[in-house]
């Protein structure tokens, strides 16, 4: 079998392979480091960090659903200062490539986070998680509001300058995903992360009330994979030059290749790690074998393959 | 900072035996040399449902006992109540079937350096890991007394051989169908007064652990409890199994019961804030 070049780029950042952790599904890497070297991944996308430490939502925080799960964590985290002091140095020591995910409650908070990260060395890119309630606009999620989405990315772009690639992470819970994607790209996003979890709910029939402490939760896992493939396909079709970090229920190499064929340049693996701590590393290997078996010599040749017009 | 999950490995393991014990199933699983790394209090996370299953999350079970000297190599024992889809699948697996495990996970019960008097309190099949713990404490020279409770006789787990390491065993059922009628927490206050108990080890429903802590907080008895919160991953990455715990300075944070627990110092758990927003 010929060797396959798995390397990929997101904006100006280069990665040896396209497999990343998904934000919020690997903390800052320490927990998975027992199972494989973090350096073997394309990179670690850290759990979305906010300005201040946050305790998150009450328990129960999860419910298993058919081929998926709901989570309602509420962005529990240490806050940006502790994150920069403790987590970044750890990841650098592990020689991991780092994508820092940030989240805010106001447009200003995102810019503040970007300002703090601007001077930190060792970061490959910033993922801007805009699937958070905007406290300045009746709690409407930024990602569901085209104007607020643009303004967040614009603020981060202005603060961070032209160096670090910005990846805008979008929600699938919108009417016109492509128009929101265009808006954030116009505002300065170099790449897009698709998709965040899909909002869901489970009612507990013992209590006859919503099961989760936070009532609603984000659905993830194989249950949402076709939604993610569709989202990646539609956005890649509209903007074929914008790199996409694809995610949503990828569990094995076949799922990974499907998302790449739809148009993803990189892949985040989240819920699969809950069931299989070795999932990320297995997927790197399986993807490599599958690409080779299909005659690809490089990952790049497979990106967006499903869009190509069949040769006569 | 100590390494997280530092002894854990993901393995394929064979079921050596699967027997029904009262309302529960006793599974013996061959885990080879990993048995040496398992301590009382640790748990195992098991994939359920087979490869095509829609159940994507592992199920966590307390390891009730390990043996490193059987003819099968290292084995671990689990006591499983078949009450959910995943545990029913597990209990239906025959001898010789293989399981995908991550083991050992979580914190272990602290063992006193001196031979002191200890009390073990178990609720339902939460008693299972206490028998393995009793053997370790007994070997340390501790005097081990045990209280077990459940709603009814069928839910008491108290194997004959497990009693060897225990100085005394009292059973309480709420319907009086076995032992004394009442709750397992009823005698604890007077036992603390009458005996020189240094540590209470507990495992069972959160309400029981909370009730025990209400008693130990009035004394200088240390309360080591194995907490229970529903978890998705078991290895510290999903952040679902959290509970509010104070540190030495009194600052409360949401700790993960999978890596900062399941065994925690009951005095630091904020029992009145469980399931609330901090």
Give the separation between CA A58 and CA A74, rounded to whole angstroms: 9
**B126 occurs within a structural domain:** yes
How is residue A152 written in tokens?
A: 């967040």
Domain final residue, candidates B85, B105, B125: B105
Range of the domain at B61: 9-105
Q: Cβ(A19)–Cβ(A269) under 8 Å?
A: yes
Give the pLDDT confidence of B253-276 residue by residue, as tens digits: 999 999 999 999 999 999 999 988
Within a domain: B18:
yes
Calculate ∠ Cα B231-B78-B99, nearest 5°. Answer: 75
**Touching check for B195 and chain A: CB below 8 Å?**
no
pLDDT over 70 at B77, yes or no: yes
Q: Are residues B166 and B73 in the same domain?
A: no
Name every chain A residue with its beta carbon within 8 A of the beta carbon of B275: 58-60, 213
Residues of chain A with pLDDT below 50 are none
- Is residue B68 over pLDDT 60? yes
What are the strands, taking DSSP E only, across chain A? 8-10, 13-15, 19-21, 44-45, 62-65, 68-71, 98-102, 123-129, 133-134, 140-141, 166-169, 191-194, 198-200, 203-204, 209-210, 217-220, 244-247, 266-269
In CATH, the number for domain A8-307 is 3.20.20.70
Task: Give the domain-ending residue among B105, B139, B156.
Answer: B105
Chain B (66-105) residues lying within 8 Å, Cβ to Cβ, of chain A: 100, 102
Quote the CA–CA distance of A265 and A300 in Å, as a whole number. Answer: 8
CA distance linking residue B164 with residue B247, whole number of Å: 37
Distance CA(B62)–CA(B203), nearest Å, equals 10
Q: Based on the fold, state whether residues B167 and B88 are members of the same structural domain.
A: no
Domain membership flag for residue B208: yes
Do B138 and B29 share a structural domain?
no
Q: How confident is the model at residue B1 (pLDDT cuts 50, 70, 90)?
A: very low
CATH code of the domain covering residue B237 = 3.40.50.80
B196 and B126 in one domain? yes
Q: Are residues B18 and B123 in the same domain?
A: no
Report yes or no on B110 lying in a domain: no
Report the domain count for chain B: 2
> Which residues of A fall within a CB distance of 8 Å from B243?
59
Structure tokens at B183: 């709750």
Name the DSSP class of A84.
Answer: I
Does residue B121 share a domain with residue B98? no
Measure the CA angle with vertex A278, ends A95 and B258; round to 5°: 95
Q: Do A27 and B232 touch (CB under 8 A)?
A: no
Q: Which of A132, A223, A280, A291 is catalytic?
A: A132
CA distance A104 to B212: 41
Residue finishing a domain among B41, B71, B105? B105
**Adjacency order of strands within the sheet including B117-123:** B180-181, B168-173, B143-150, B117-123, B197-203, B222-226, B263-265
Q: pLDDT: is B277 or A205 the higher one?
A: A205
Alpha helix locations (H) across chain B? 85-91, 128-139, 188-194, 206-216
Q: What is the pLDDT of residue A312?
A: 53
Is it the case that residue B70 has pLDDT exceeding 80?
Answer: no
Nearest to B117 by CA among B19, B219, B197, B212: B197
CA distances in angstroms from A160 to A58, A89, A116, A299, listed in the order given: 34, 20, 9, 30
pLDDT of B2 > 80? The answer is no
Is the interface score ipTM higher than 0.90?
yes
Per-residue burial over A215-225, b = 16 or more CB atoms within 10 Å of its CB, e = otherwise:
eebbbbbbbbb
Mutate to test the interface with A, among B53, B237, B244, B260 (most CBs of A within 10 A): B237
* CATH number of residue B25's parent domain: 2.40.30.10
B17 domain-assigned:
yes
What is the reported pLDDT for A2?
A: 59
Asked whether the beta carbons of residue B243 and residue A59 sit closer than 8 angstroms, the reply is yes
The region of weakest confidence among A191-200, B100-109, B158-167 is B158-167
Do A27 and B237 lie within an 8 Å CB cutoff?
A: yes
Q: Where is average pLDDT lowest: A161-165, B100-104, B199-203?
A: A161-165
């Amino acid at each position: 079998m010929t060797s396959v070049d798995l390397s990929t780029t997101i904006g100006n950042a280069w990665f040896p392979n396209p497999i990343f952790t998904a934000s919020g599904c690997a903390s800052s890497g320490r927990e998975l480091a027992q199972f494989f070297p973090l350096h073997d991944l394309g990179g670690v996308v850290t759990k979305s960090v906010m300005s201040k430490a946050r305790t998150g939502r009450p328990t129960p925080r999860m419910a298993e659903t058919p081929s998926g799960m709901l989570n309602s964590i509420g962005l529990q985290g240490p806050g940006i200062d502790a994150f920069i002091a403790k987590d970044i140095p750890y990841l650098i020591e592990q020689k991991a490539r780092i994508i820092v995910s940030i989240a805010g409650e106001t447009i200003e908070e995102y810019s503040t986070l970007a300002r703090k990260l601007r001077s930190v060395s060792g970061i490959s890119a910033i993922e801007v998680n805009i699937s958070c309630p905007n406290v300045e606009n009746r709690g409407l999620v930024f990602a569901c509001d085209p104007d607020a989405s643009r303004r967040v990315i614009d603020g981060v772009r202005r603060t961070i300058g032209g160096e670090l690639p910005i990846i805008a992470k979008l929600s699938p819970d919108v009417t016109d995903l492509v128009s929101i994607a265009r808006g954030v790209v116009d505002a300065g996003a170099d790449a897009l992360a698709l998709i965040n979890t899909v909002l869901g709910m489970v009612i507990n029939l013992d209590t006859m009330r919503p099961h989760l402490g936070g009532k609603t939760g984000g659905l993830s896992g194989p249950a949402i994979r076709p939604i993610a493939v569709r989202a990646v396909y539609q956005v890649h079709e509209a903007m074929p030059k914008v790199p996409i970090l694809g995610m949503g229920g990828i569990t094995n190499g076949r799922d990974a290749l499907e998302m790449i064929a739809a148009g993803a340049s990189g892949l985040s693996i989240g819920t699969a790690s809950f069931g299989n701590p070795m999932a990320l590393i297995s997927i790197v290997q399986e993807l490599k074998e599958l690409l080779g078996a299909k005659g690809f010599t490089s990952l790049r040749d497979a990106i967006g393959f499903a869009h190509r017009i069949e040769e006569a | 900072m100590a390494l997280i999950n530092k002894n854990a490995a993901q393995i394929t393991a064979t079921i050596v035996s699967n027997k029904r014990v009262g309302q529960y199933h006793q599974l013996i699983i061959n885990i080879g040399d990993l048995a040496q790394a398992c301590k009382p209090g640790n748990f195992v996370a098991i994939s359920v449902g087979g490869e095509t299953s829609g159940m994507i999350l592992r199920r966590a079970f307390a390891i009730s006992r390990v043996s490193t000297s059987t003819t099968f190599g290292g084995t671990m024992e689990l006591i499983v109540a078949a009450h959910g889809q995943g545990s029913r699948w597990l209990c239906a697996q025959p001898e010789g079937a293989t399981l995908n495990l991550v083991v050992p996970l979580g914190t272990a019960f602290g063992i006193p350096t001196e031979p002191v008097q200890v009390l073990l309190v178990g609720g339902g099949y939460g008693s299972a890991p206490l028998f393995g713990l009793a053997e370790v404490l007994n070997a340390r020279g501790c005097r081990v007394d045990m209280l077990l409770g459940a709603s009814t006789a069928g839910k008491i787990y108290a194997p004959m051989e497990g009693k060897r390491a225990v100085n005394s065993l009292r059973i309480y059922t709420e319907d009086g169908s076995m032992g004394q009628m009442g709750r397992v927490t009823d005698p604890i206050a007077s036992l603390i007064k009458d005996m020189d108990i240094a540590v209470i080890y507990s495992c069972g429903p959160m309400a029981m652990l909370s009730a025990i802590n209400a008693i130990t907080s009035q004394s200088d008895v240390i309360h080591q409890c194995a907490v229970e919160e529903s978890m998705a991953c078991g290895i510290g990455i999903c952040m679902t199994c959290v509970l509010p715990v104070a540190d030495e300075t009194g600052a409360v944070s949401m700790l993960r019961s999978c890596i900062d627990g399941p065994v925690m110092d009951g005095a630091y758990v904020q029992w009145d804030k469980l399931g609330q927003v901090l």
